[in-house]
Amino acid sequence: MDKSSIHGMWSSRLAFILAATGSAVGLGNIWRFPYMASDNGGGAFVLIYLSCILFAGLPILMAEILLGRNGRTSPVNALTQAAEQSGRSRFWTLPGWMGMVAGVLILSFYSVVAGWTLYYAWLYVLQLFGGAPIADPGATFGALLGDAGLLTFWHAIFMIMTVVVVAFGVEKGLERAVKFLMPALLAMLLVLLGYGATTGNLGQAASFLFVPDFSAISGEVYLRAMGQAFFSLSLGMCAMMTYGAYLPKGISVGRVGLIVALSDTGVALLAGMAIFPIVIQFAIEPSGGGPGMIFTALPLAFDQMGAIFGLVFFALLAVAAWTSSISLLEPTTAFLVERTRLSRKTAAIGMAALTWVVGLVSVLSFNHWSHIRPFGLDLMTLIERIANDLMLPLGGLLIAIFAGWRLSGRISREELADLPDWLYRTWLWVVRVVAPVAVTFVFWQALRPIVRQLMGG
């Protein structure tokens, strides 16, 4: 008989798909993907990004979900169980521990950026009630970043929103929040795409995003693209493993994994196609957009479309961030509930408070601490790079090796029971060889210039 998790279970296949897609689709797709593509050479970046999704993202996503479902517990405990069942060492719980650290780091800056979207939604509310329009988006964005108090306030609001959902638990909190709002976000992106089409710049946007300029590829571009792939799919820190723990048996891991990966990638590409025509229209360079890209370009379009569009867009983006942030807080909360005597509520509030404090580093990195630049990076970017570009792919690599080489084949075969033999064997081969080679290759590409520099060559 199927055992269920003490944290609750998804009520249906659709509920899981919505929750996992809700986790995957977020700021990563709409805020980060466009400016990553913009900063890293457009088409070449996108091509590497898509390869990372296919060769590492999808197979590791399946591995995370199946490991979670096999254990029915938070990542560290699920990995402990899987290692014991397979007669392997405790070493393989490492991705679970590392994932909790990565989760805190990622949520810390994620919440700050989500706070920007809340603030922008608020600006459009004010505008609808007669407030001043955003006349100079660059100045508005600059003023926000310069104001540590304002940033801290909206960061706190977003963290409270996140903790409320997690405190209510799987069925009551997580599921309800995602059911209506994801389709609404998709509709809003299509409206923006329609607007983009009226500018006549769709073709130019498409060629920037999809025609690769191979001379733009460097070790750094490889690393950024892979980090973005893991970040966008919520992979490498066991968030999907946690969601998998609440997935009823009998639902196909392969199929839901594929649906989540396709929707996430689709939304990122759609967001890119919606945003670049607007960027081009207002004579902003498509390359070098930086983290402020959507906050400085889109208000120019909303100025013509009407403030209500600005409100709906930024409100929905905040919701998309919300359905993602809960998956960053859930793994540690579930872990604390299993390992300590804390209630779900106390555990969630404690972790959120800790993460909120860590987020103050990102808040200050734009103003009082903007002069602190280790390795030439501001502190928020540094945290992002360490978590997204290093910890996530490393976690993913360990999960792939464990699932492919160490986990008892009986477990993975049973969890993927619906797959025909050839597909199961393809998956196994990909997590054993292709994904680890891909991740190692990217790390090597990124490391090479550094090694060369150290060798003085």
Residues in contact with ligand TRP by CB under 6 A are 23-24, 26-29, 106, 231-232, 234, 237, 239, 324, 327-328, 392
Residue 165: phi, psi to the nearest 5? Answer: -65, -45
Here the tokens at position 188 are: 């809003």
Q: Which pairs with CB-CB distance under 8 Å and at least 24 residues apart come from 249-253? A: 249/2, 249/69, 250/2, 251/13, 251/16, 252/418, 252/419, 253/62, 253/65, 253/66, 253/69, 253/415, 253/416
The residues, ordered by sequence, that sit 6+ positions from 253 with a Cβ below 8 Å of its Cβ are 62, 65, 66, 69, 244, 247, 415, 416
Neighbour-count burial of 252, counting CB atoms closer than 10 A to its CB (0-12 exposed, 13-18 middle, 19+ buried): middle
Of residues 330 and 415, the one with the C-beta less far from ligand TRP: 330
Of residues 26 and 404, the one with the C-beta less far from ligand TRP: 26
Of residues 98 and 438, the one with the C-beta less far from ligand TRP: 98
Q: Smallest distance, Å, CB 214 to ligand TRP?
A: 27
Report the alpha-carbon distance of residue 323 to residue 182 in Å, rounded: 9
Report the alpha-carbon distance of residue 194 to residue 183 in Å, rounded: 17
- Round the CA-based radius of gyration of the chain to a whole number and report it: 21
Neighbour-count burial of 371, counting CB atoms closer than 10 A to its CB (0-12 exposed, 13-18 middle, 19+ buried): exposed
40 close to 419: Cβ distance less than 8 angstroms: no
DSSP output for 90-101 = GGGGHHHHHHHH
Q: Smallest distance, Å, CB 29 to ligand TRP?
A: 5
Number of residue whose CB is nearest ligand TRP: 28
Of residues 120 and 195, the one with the C-beta less far from ligand TRP: 120
Here the tokens at position 21 are: 């897609």
296 close to 144: Cβ distance less than 8 angstroms: no
Here the tokens at position 68 are: 């979670």
Q: Smallest distance, Å, CB 387 to ligand TRP?
A: 8
Q: Smallest distance, Å, CB 316 to ligand TRP?
A: 13
243 close to 23: Cβ distance less than 8 angstroms: yes
Q: Smallest distance, Å, CB 124 to ligand TRP?
A: 22
Of residues 272 and 280, the one with the C-beta less far from ligand TRP: 272
Of residues 196 and 395, the one with the C-beta less far from ligand TRP: 395
Of residues 23 and 140, the one with the C-beta less far from ligand TRP: 23
Q: Smallest distance, Å, CB 266 to ligand TRP?
A: 13
Amino acid at 333: T
Q: Smallest distance, Å, CB 320 to ligand TRP?
A: 7
Of residues 232 and 365, the one with the C-beta less far from ligand TRP: 232
Report the alpha-carbon distance of residue 353 to residue 348 in Å, rounded: 9
Of residues 284 and 394, the one with the C-beta less far from ligand TRP: 394
Q: Smallest distance, Å, CB 360 to ligand TRP?
A: 20
Q: Smallest distance, Å, CB 17 to ligand TRP?
A: 15
Of residues 134 and 319, the one with the C-beta less far from ligand TRP: 319
Other CB atoms within 10 A of residue 457 CB: 6
The residues, ordered by sequence, that sit 6+ positions from 424 with a Cβ below 8 Å of its Cβ are 412, 413, 416
For the chain, the farthest-separated pair of C-alpha atoms sits apart, in whole angstroms, at: 67
Q: Smallest distance, Å, CB 236 to ligand TRP?
A: 6
> Would you give the DSSP letter of residue 248?
P
Block residue for tokens 């009998």: 250
Of residues 389 and 415, the one with the C-beta less far from ligand TRP: 389
Here the tokens at position 72 are: 């029915």
Q: Smallest distance, Å, CB 158 to ligand TRP?
A: 13
